[in-house]
């Protein structure tokens, strides 16, 4: 006889991080203060539900600054932008609010500082991801992307005396460590960040999946297909030997995934709101789950300040997404 679903185990922590909370609040406050439309360069965070909610409140998401009318208010997404995009936005005279996560900005600042000292960079990250474009675009040259260990063998900096490693904030912690080790083996003098550029939220969500995966028969990750950190959670569970699927909403859950599965692990990427997690729980209950249990885990208390100009009116706008 088929085993039926016994319980849902919720990963801790999961879902929104401080950078995502801040980025969404910047758009909501800009809408409340200046009125619609507010233009946002790129999806504010990689989540379909969040983007649709903000669209319904009057946000317009664009990729090219030429699609923003003169005099508009423009928000940069949490992933950050290149120097060229910053400059173009200033030249076009927009009223700019920067929702780049402060932990991404920290990497940008480090790149600029070391470049002044004559460093070249090896960036570990995923080609084409907006954060990688933003970080690499802090410099006009001297920053080389490696996506995997194979790339390390062929990367060709102009010199190796002053070489530093930087990474995307949302990588697999284990993959990044392996690639960094290959960089170190090829360039022994390479300078590495004191603390990894991979952020606390990425680290904590991956740690929780590492603890959870062996305890469950299936891991469901709530996150959008474009979300790097959410993809890494699904991939990690699968690597640990637990079947895993990522869903953008409860509607994507397939009953056959749950056949013969007793314990279901549930987590969410840093850009996925808790409301979607609750909808997934309801759906899994309808499939027969009897109980829901929270895992023990780290409590995250970090909060980033809002940019100047949006700090006033301290009452959060109505209907804050959470
Ligand atoms: C900025 C930096 O980078 P990823 O694709 O994981 O972004 P997402 O929007 O899913 O998550 C928020 C975020 C934003 C993470 N790091
Ligand atoms: Fe910032 Fe990390 Fe959240 Fe990205 S995942 S927005 S770097 S806190």
Write down the domain spans for the chain. Answer: 7-16+200-294, 18-101, 103-186
CB 175 within 8 A of CB 228: no
Domains 7-16+200-294 and 103-186 share a fold: yes
pLDDT per residue over 31-80, tens digit each?
999 999 999 999 999 999 999 999 999 999 999 999 999 999 999 999 99
Residue 104 CA: nearest ligand 2 atom is 7
Q: How far is CA 16 from the centre of its chain?
A: 9
Q: Span 103-186: which CATH code?
A: 3.40.1010.20
Question: Which bound ligand lies closest to the C-alpha atom of 17?
Answer: 2
pLDDT given at position 194: 76
Dist. CA 224 → ligand 1 center (Å): 10
Give me the residues paired with residue 9 across strands: 265, 293
User: Per residue in 146-164, pLDDT tens?
Assistant: 999 999 999 999 999 999 9
- pTM value surpassing 0.85: yes
**Backbone dihedral region for residue 121 (phi beyond 0: left; psi -120 to 50: alpha; all else: beta):** beta
Q: Which residues line ligand 2 (CB under 6 A)?
A: 17-20, 78, 101, 103-104, 169-170, 199, 201-202, 229, 270
- What is the 237 CA–ligand 2 centroid distance (Å)? 20
Q: Which bound ligand lies closest to the C-alpha atom of 51?
A: 1
Question: Which residue lies with its CA nearest to atom 6 of ligand 2?
Answer: 19
**Nearest residue to 293 via CA among 6, 4, 10:** 10
The verdict on domain 7-16+200-294 having CATH code 3.40.1010.20 is yes
131: annotated active-site residue: yes
pLDDT over 70 at 314, yes or no: no
CATH 3.40.50.11270 fits 18-101, yes or no: yes
Q: Are strands 73-76 and 163-167 parallel, antiparallel or unpaired?
A: unpaired
**SS3 call for 218:** strand
Residue 318 confidence (pLDDT) above 80? no
From the CB of 231, is ligand 1 less than 6 Å away? no
CA of 201, nearest ligand number = 2
User: Which residues, 6 or more positions from 52, have their beta carbon under 8 angstroms from its beta carbon?
Assistant: none
| C-beta 100 within 6 A of ligand 1 | no
- Measured between alpha carbons, how far is 261 from 254 in angstroms, rounded to an integer? 13
Instruction: For 128-145, write each residue's pLDDT tens digit.
Output: 999 999 999 999 999 999
**Token digits of residue 294:** 């929270």
CB atoms under 10 Å from CB of 141, counted, come to: 8
User: Which of ligand 1's atoms lies nearest the C-alpha of 168?
Assistant: 3
Catalytic residue, from 28, 131, 133, 279: name it: 131
Q: Is 54 exposed, middle or buried (0-12, 13-18, 19+ CB in 10 A)?
A: buried
């Amino acid at each position: 006889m088929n085993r039926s679903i016994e319980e849902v185990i919720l990963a801790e922590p999961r879902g929104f991080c401080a950078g995502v909370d801040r980025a969404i609040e910047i758009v909501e406050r800009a809408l409340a203060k200046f009125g619609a439309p507010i233009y946002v360069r790129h999806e504010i965070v990689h989540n379909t539900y969040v983007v649709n909610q903000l669209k319904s409140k009057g946000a317009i998401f664009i990729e090219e600054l030429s699609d923003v009318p003169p005099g508009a208010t423009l928000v940069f997404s949490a992933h950050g932008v290149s120097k060229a995009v910053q400059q173009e936005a200033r030249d076009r005279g927009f009223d700019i609010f920067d929702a780049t996560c402060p932990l991404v900005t920290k990497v940008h600042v480090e790149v600029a500082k070391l470049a002044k000292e004559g460093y070249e960079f090896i960036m570990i990250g995923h080609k084409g991801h907006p954060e990688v474009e933003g970080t690499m675009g802090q410099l006009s040259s001297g920053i080389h992307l490696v996506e995997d260990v194979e790339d390390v063998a062929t990367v060709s900096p102009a010199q190796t005396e002053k070489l530093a490693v930087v990474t995307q904030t949302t990588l697999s912690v284990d993959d990044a460590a392996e690639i960094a080790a290959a960089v170190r083996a090829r360039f022994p003098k390479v300078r590495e960040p004191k603390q990894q550029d991979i952020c606390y939220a990425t680290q904590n969500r991956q740690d929780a999946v590492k603890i959870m995966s062996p305890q469950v028969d299936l891991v469901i990750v709530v996150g959008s297909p474009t979300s790097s950190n959410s993809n890494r959670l699904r991939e990690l569970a699968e690597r640990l030997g637990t079947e895993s699927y990522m869903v953008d909403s409860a509607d994507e859950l397939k009953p056959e995934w749950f056949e013969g599965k007793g314990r279901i692990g549930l987590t969410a990427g840093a850009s996925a709101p808790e409301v979607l997690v609750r909808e997934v729980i309801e759906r899994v209950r309808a499939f027969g789950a009897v109980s829901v249990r929270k895992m023990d885990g780290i409590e995250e208390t970090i909060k980033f300040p809002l940019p100047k100009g949006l700090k006033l009116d301290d009452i959060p706008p109505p209907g804050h997404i959470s």
